[in-house]
Structure 1
């Protein structure tokens, strides 16, 4: 399926040509303004007259002798502290061609300038009848890593597009279609098990959660594989609840409104898979997405029902609105059976994680200290932060059930994100390096480069960790 808005992967990033002279775009911090004016004295009178002091977010357009635009001065925070600082400019500058003057002097700064610029042009306009305003174009900074920029931009756009799509247009079948399209592009294989086939192939939890939905929105398990079968195994699991009504434990309208985003984990693993395959990392990649709609009908599961999972563990249903962990249980069991070197699941799993950390910080849980520390370090380096919460083993008692092997939720109000992670850990098994990310996948308010709506979190951090462990071979390495 085709998703999302219009535009290219690196929209509004252009090549320098010899026919059109771009306008100089001069990024300045407050401390840099004085030295710049000292070397551009002819601009001083105008700059002082308009009161430009290089405050972060301010803009000063310098007129040329012919009445056109000679240059644009942009007040920025320290880019080392805010790599998104340039992303505020495309919405404020007049249309045209611009080049940074001076250009960023490191590959990292140049790449971030390009990434922020192109993501600032993102707009989910699939349902808009009026075209959006054409934004300004930026000449590629010469030191930018174009592959990294394109990879990050396209993966982010994919996640945003999928999360932003209304549930009426993105059900389990359409999510499978997006996975199949991605697989076809990179020569991967994608198999989907649908409806009663889930029972035949022993995915009972996925089936039970999704069986209340209509025939057109039957539950399914999406299974994408790519890469050399003999390469190190990296497996990604994403929660694909395409809409979550809460089931019989029906959500109130205020909580249900954003539940088109409950497949955000699935969107994230597809975005991360895109980056891995595009970079040709030497891994055997597997992506598992249990895709369902948690609906209300006579077929819906009930509180205190007991279901049997793929692993054979029985689960007592404490709340039908805690469905994501049930479908992940089956997918994680399947993933663990391959004994991958790295297993990562991503899910919009708990409100408790958002209460603890807010919308911008994914909660990270891991049974492997090295993996967790690598992810946290990459998050800091990539301006893509996470926060680790503990798999506090004594809280496992909160999931004890009198009638089944485990309860799906605790009866108490505390540590909801931790008990959810402990539930998932039951289906991973010992000896595997596993990380679980509990993400929001949504911006509640717009910021430069990050509009309100669906959002990709931790993609750059996770890709950096995987790429560092399994670096792509250069042409000179092949021999």
Structure 2
């Protein structure tokens, strides 16, 4: 990797932290160079300070304006990721123990900021195209733990960034099997018409129009006697919208519609790497929502695994259909915790934007844990309400429910309510409506696939079910 964390060394050059308007706190030479360079310490900016011999003598990381609100140190810690892409070759360290940023978050940000997706680029690739940076980790940092978390995030990013011609249902299954082999997990797959035999009719209906057979991927790991934690991830590898076809502009990013699956695989990797005391199950309905003579249609009535009938009001609301069958299966064994993740609605982006995924749960205790973990590890999430009166908007005149409402209101909420109707026995259920994509480059990564919410969820799981240190 182009950036590695190292032990203390006398050769490391200092990285000073500076807030906007706070350049006076820098050493004299760095302060003078900053002023000559008109460096204003904007958030995420980096200034290389030259020495007398022309080589770097240090660097300054801009933190932006001072922010004394609660949690500011954690969120500002992410700015350290900018160093991974802007420091030259060599050994570096923070000039002093960071006080204005969270050092754990900052160290993880350094690792995350080095990510590049170079699979399809000719010429210089990967590590060859980036400086080789060795960064001295702050004291008492668990480097192995942070490296494992970063590696899992990179897995999610790689899976989402891979286009659908190389990431179909079979390839997504292969990724799950590769992860399972690495940690000694078991995988079972139900594929094609066997889905009908095994009673997963909605997964089959959504995926049957594709040349790539739909499937349900079922990964299990851990002791059967440990608390059951089940993760369900939407694995729609490409979404045309079906017969309710999307416009061309609406399909451009649809390779990311398996972002929920990528995220739960990343979370599963964190759990298994840490050896948490859980019996982990990961369910991924992997399908392509394609168009052909066998595509499911608006107005069709589908009978779900749970027995509930669903009228299809829109074929472009397919993700909730495949999730419903997978959730019904997961719920049958009454897990202690059931979490689903999906790139489910545009309404969530309208409400909260691309960087702040909503989560839904009726368990106030779990919601408080997750919100606190989100702030602690700087992994943004925001609780939204399961507003039950809106469930009536999913009514159908001829079936138990419709898959969409007849109006355009509260789309993320009603999608969550639809899913809730397939969960009864789980002690805790939560739904995360993620975007799975970074639309603008930032300190911790370029434009492209993104893991969202998984670090916060992992933090909660670590607290509830601690395992052996990595």
Distance in 2, matches of 1:94 and 1:146, equals 22
User: 2:3: which partner in 1?
Assistant: 12
Counterpart-to-counterpart distance in 1, 2:38 and 2:292 = 63
**Closer, same or farther: CA 55–369 of 1 in aligned 2, 3 Å:** closer
Whether the 8 Å CA contact 1:264–1:348 is kept in 2: the answer is yes
CA contact (8 A) 1:395 1:419 kept: yes
Counterpart of 1:3 in structure 2 is: none
Alignment partner of 1:335 out of 330, 337, 353: 330
TM-score w.r.t. length of structure 2: 0.92
**CA offsets per residue over residues 162-192 of structure 1, 9 Å max, x none?**
1110000000000000000000000000111
1:72 to 59, 62, 66: 59
Determine whether 1:23 maps to 2:13: yes
CA contact (8 A) 2:18 2:41 kept: yes
For 1:89, the equivalent position in structure 2 comes to: 83
Distance 1:66 1:456, change over 3 A: same
Q: CA distance change for structure 1 residues 129 and 431 in 2, over 3 Å: closer, same or farther?
A: closer
After superposition, the Cα gap between the structure-2 partners of 1:265 and 1:43, relative to the gap in structure 1 and judged at 3 Å, is closer
Q: How does 1:200-239 map to 2 (within 5 A)?
A: 200-214=197-211, 217-239=212-234
Give yes or no for contact 1:121–1:135 (8 Å, CA) kept in 2: no
Q: Is the CA contact (8 Å cut-off) linking 1:110 and 1:142 kept in structure 2? A: no
How much has 1:76 moved relative to structure 2? 2.5
1:86 is displaced (CA, Å) by 1.4
Match of 2:156 among 147, 153, 159: 159
* Structure 1 position 46, deviation (Å): 4.5
Structure 1 residues 367 and 430: alpha-carbon distance in aligned structure 2, compared to 1, 3 A threshold: farther
Query: In the alignment, is the contact (CA less than 8 A) between 1:90 and 1:136 conserved in 2?
Result: no
Structure 1 residue aligned with 2:106: 113
Change (3 A) 1:44 1:287: closer
1:337-352 alignment runs, 5 A limit: 337-352=332-347
Whether 1:198 and 2:195 are equivalent positions in the alignment is yes
CA distance in 1, matches of 2:21, 2:440: 30
**Retained in 2: the 8 A contact 1:111–1:146?**
no
Gap runs ≥5 in structure 1: 1-6
Aligned: 1:135 with 2:131? yes
C-alpha distance in structure 2 between counterparts of 1:474 and 1:128, whole Å: 37
TM superposition shift of 1:17: 7.9
Measure how far apart 1:436 and its partner are.
0.4
Contact 1:105–1:143 (CA under 8 A) maintained in structure 2: no
Deviation at 1:443, TM superposition (A): 1.1
CA RMSD of aligned residues (A): 2.1
What residue number does 2:293 align with? 298
Does the alignment pair 1:178 with 2:175?
Answer: yes
Aligned counterparts of 1:27 and 1:398: Cα–Cα separation in 2: 52
Task: Please list, as runs of the form range in 1=range in 2, the aligned pairs for 1:312-461 lying within 5 A after superposition.
Answer: 312-429=307-424, 432-461=427-456
Counterpart-to-counterpart distance in 2, 1:47 and 1:419: 52
Structure 1 residue 212, shift from structure 2 partner: 0.4
Query: Against the structure 1 CA distance between its residues 204 and 43, is the aligned structure 2 distance closer, same or farther, given a 3 Å change threshold?
Result: closer
Q: State the 1:109 CA deviation.
A: 3.0
SS at match of 2:157: helix
